[in-house]
Structure 1
Amino acid sequence: MLSAGAFAEEAIGDLKAELSKQPIEDTCAAKPGIRELKNYPEVFNLYYENDLFAGTDNNYTNGIKLSWVSANLADYINDPCLPKWVRQLNRFSQALQPGAFDSRNMVISFGQSMYTPTDKYRTDLIKDDRPYAGWLYMGFAYNARTANVMDTVEIDVGVVGPASLARQTQNTIHDWRGIDRFNGWDNQLNDELGIQFVKERKNKVLVINKADGPKFDAITHYGFSLGNVKTYLNAGFEMRLGTFLPDDFGTSPIRPASDSNAPLPINATRRLSGGGIHTFVAVDARAVAHNIFLDGNTFSDSHSVAKEYFVGDVSAGIAYQWAGGKITYAQVLRSKEFRQQKDAQSFGSITISLEY
């Protein structure tokens, strides 16, 4: 006669055997579906940049981007309630970024940027000032990390020219705010399909994180971009100091590979669980071979100006994080991007991150 314990073990064994025979969809509340991703914390980022924060309205005059940052892709592999293609994402990322990384995630982003000359009232082509231009795009990126290193591969696909809707967007915003419109949008760059491939590595070279004192880290980055939108080499660093430092790889203005809400190490579930405040200073330097917003269209005649081949950004700001969210503000100073440009440009950058 079986004891109670032996009987229970035999019953559990029979149940496991029966479940193993059932198709995957029978083990889920419903058939495998994308809705199951709700069980994994994700981060949504909203970026907004404008030179009105510096009291100007020209050059790089406005940028907005919304991005979705997935949870650790390795967490998806063994969940039978997720669609098969979702469970394959980590393997696809491994093919793009081979190496011994602890965790990986993906990023999908949508954005729009616009560029204008200084004189908003002229309707003719202003040959010695930057072209009117807009850029509407969608980005796909993969991050792979260890404790102190993150590699990013990103592909942006979009359109430059009237199809970017930059003219309509700016006119609508200016009308809402009672600001005079720019009158020269008829001279903007022509429609052109834009493709940009970017690869970048970030590295935490110094971390001071004592429980009884201020927190400090230093993060370097370097990478490149290829494509008819922008082609460049870049490198830089960031230093952060505060009462709390998030487990990410710094703060960047809108640019490819700027979503640094990294995947967490294995077995960690939330990225925005703690709270605190920190300040930061960052530098990015670029050697620019091509910039469509200055060089003009690639496959048709358009307005262009003589670009500067070496451009740099210096930014400083403050970030506050609470359980489930983070808000960041940075003031960015960008060196002259073309030879006829009279002054360096400054603009403000706000980022709001929410985790669900």
Structure 2
Amino acid sequence: MDTRLRLPLALALALAGSPACAAAAQPDTCSGSALRDHPPAVNFRVDNDLFGGAHQDQGYTNGAMLTLVSPNLADYTDDPCLPAPARWINRHLERLQPGGFEQQNMIFSVGQGLFTPTDSTRTDLIGDDRPYAGVLLVNFGYNARTGDRLRTTQLALGMVGPSAQGKQVQDAVHGVLDDEKFMGWKNQLHDEPVLRLLHERMRRWPANNPAGWGWDAISHWGGALGNLATYGNAGGEVRFGWQLPDDFGSSPLRPAGENTAPTRGGRLSGWSGHLFATADARWVLRDITLDGNTFRGSHSVDRRALVGDIGYGVALTRGKWKFALARYHRSREFEGQKQRPVFGSFTISRTL
């Protein structure tokens, strides 16, 4: 195994196994309301532009992310619900951790995103289309909730370029699906370490969910800073359905969506389901997948500053399992882009 992947994967396995083990091994500390109100969870998300329809294998062409969610925590550095490696990391990231809130939890995720131009057959550099790029990220997130308000702060660290294994993953997937391979990966962005510090604030209306049919709305605003991406954003989400979850959104792409934010009242009984629609507008100052490498020359395009997303989908929950399916329409991200990006996202979650 590539040594650059051993530490993230080892920490992921530690986080995945620790909440349940800690609850069993330390019933007087990692148990009770923390696990009842918001049990630990594992989420797996797949994004693909083929979900958007025919001839959509372009732009943000594929992504996958594994997310591990802690239960509610007393704090980020000493709570026994977190494994020792996570507590050690948190002691070095204390400035990112909010305090003075009613509920708080942590997420850890490992993910990859692939970006390609429209024409898969060309081997030369396509100057008027987006660069080939693979991005591999490890993400640490801190959520803090008081009533109907949530703050989330996330630090993403990773690599863009050949070391992100974008070509290898796409070739393997296309081989399984018997699809044509993209031939221009030799023109992808160069290796570059990347980081992104993201912060968002959210609010829900109404704050309390009814037991049966109901609706809510979640607003958000925030931004990100780093050589991976720098932007400011704002938007919202509306949901309608049966036994809405007490969380902050169902859109799989939202940084605090899909079972990751602290909840109240424990796991829902029976089944629940709802429809959701979401929108987000971003003022983008930098996007490495469009602007190219930061410290050396590379392929780039004329990025548009204002970008918007509209998404819609359905989420279903039964016992410990939750499924969410969404479709997103994005405005053109650079001058000369032939089509507006359309892609889908599927998420499967399980509480422990």
Same fold (TM over 0.5): yes
Deviation of 1:92 (Å) = 8.4
The one-letter amino acid of 1:170's match is Q
Structure 2 CA distance, aligned partners of 1:53 and 1:80? 41
Q: Percent identity?
A: 47
User: What does 1:33-112 correspond to in 2, within 5 Å?
Assistant: 35-37=21-23, 40=35, 41-54=39-52, 55=54, 56-74=56-74, 96-112=96-112
CA deviation map 1:49-76 (0-9, x unaligned) = 1010122100000010000000011289
Instruction: After superposing the two structures, state which structure 1 stretch, 93-102 or 271-280, moved more.
Output: 93-102
Q: Secondary structure at the match of 1:45?
A: strand
The one-letter amino acid of 1:119's match is D
Where does structure 1 lack aligned partners over 5 or more consecutive residues? 1-32
Deviation of 1:36 (Å) = 1.6
Structure 2 CA distance, aligned partners of 1:159 and 1:197? 15
Structure 1 CA distance, aligned partners of 2:192 and 2:99? 36
Structure 1 CA distance, aligned partners of 2:332 and 2:78? 51
Deviation of 1:205 (Å) = 2.9
Deviation of 1:275 (Å) = 2.5
The one-letter amino acid of 2:222's match is G
Q: Secondary structure at the match of 2:74?
A: helix
Question: Cα–Cα, structure 1 residues 315 and 181, in superposed 2: closer, same or farther, change >3 Å?
Answer: same
Matched, 1:234 2:248: no
1:323: which partner in 2?
Answer: 319
User: What does 1:193-272 correspond to in 2, within 5 Å?
Assistant: 193-207=193-207, 209-211=209-211, 214-254=213-253, 256-258=255-257, 261-265=260-264, 268=265, 270-271=266-267
2:274: which partner in 1?
Answer: 278
Verify the 8 A CA contact 2:196 2:225 in the aligned structure 1.
yes
Q: CA RMSD in A?
A: 2.6
Deviation of 1:264 (Å) = 2.9
- The structure having more radius of gyration, on CA atoms, is 1
Deviation of 1:323 (Å) = 1.2
Where does structure 2 lack aligned partners over 5 or more consecutive residues? 1-17, 25-30
Matched, 1:312 2:316: no
Question: Cα–Cα, structure 1 residues 329 and 74, in superposed 2: closer, same or farther, change >3 Å?
Answer: same
Question: Cα–Cα, structure 1 residues 202 and 83, in superposed 2: closer, same or farther, change >3 Å?
Answer: closer
Structure 2 CA distance, aligned partners of 1:116 and 1:174? 14
Q: Secondary structure at the match of 1:118?
A: coil
Equivalent residue in structure 2 for 1:352, among 334, 348, 352? 348
The one-letter amino acid of 2:22's match is E
Structure 2 CA distance, aligned partners of 1:86 and 1:159? 21
Question: Cα–Cα, structure 1 residues 134 and 198, in superposed 2: closer, same or farther, change >3 Å?
Answer: same
User: What does 1:153-168 correspond to in 2, within 5 Å?
Assistant: 153-168=153-168
Question: Cα–Cα, structure 1 residues 156 and 86, in superposed 2: closer, same or farther, change >3 Å?
Answer: closer
The alignment's TM-score, normalised by the length of structure 1, stands at 0.83
Deviation of 1:256 (Å) = 4.6
Verify the 8 A CA contact 2:252 2:258 in the aligned structure 1.
no
Structure 2 CA distance, aligned partners of 1:197 and 1:240? 28
Structure 2 CA distance, aligned partners of 1:53 and 1:71? 32
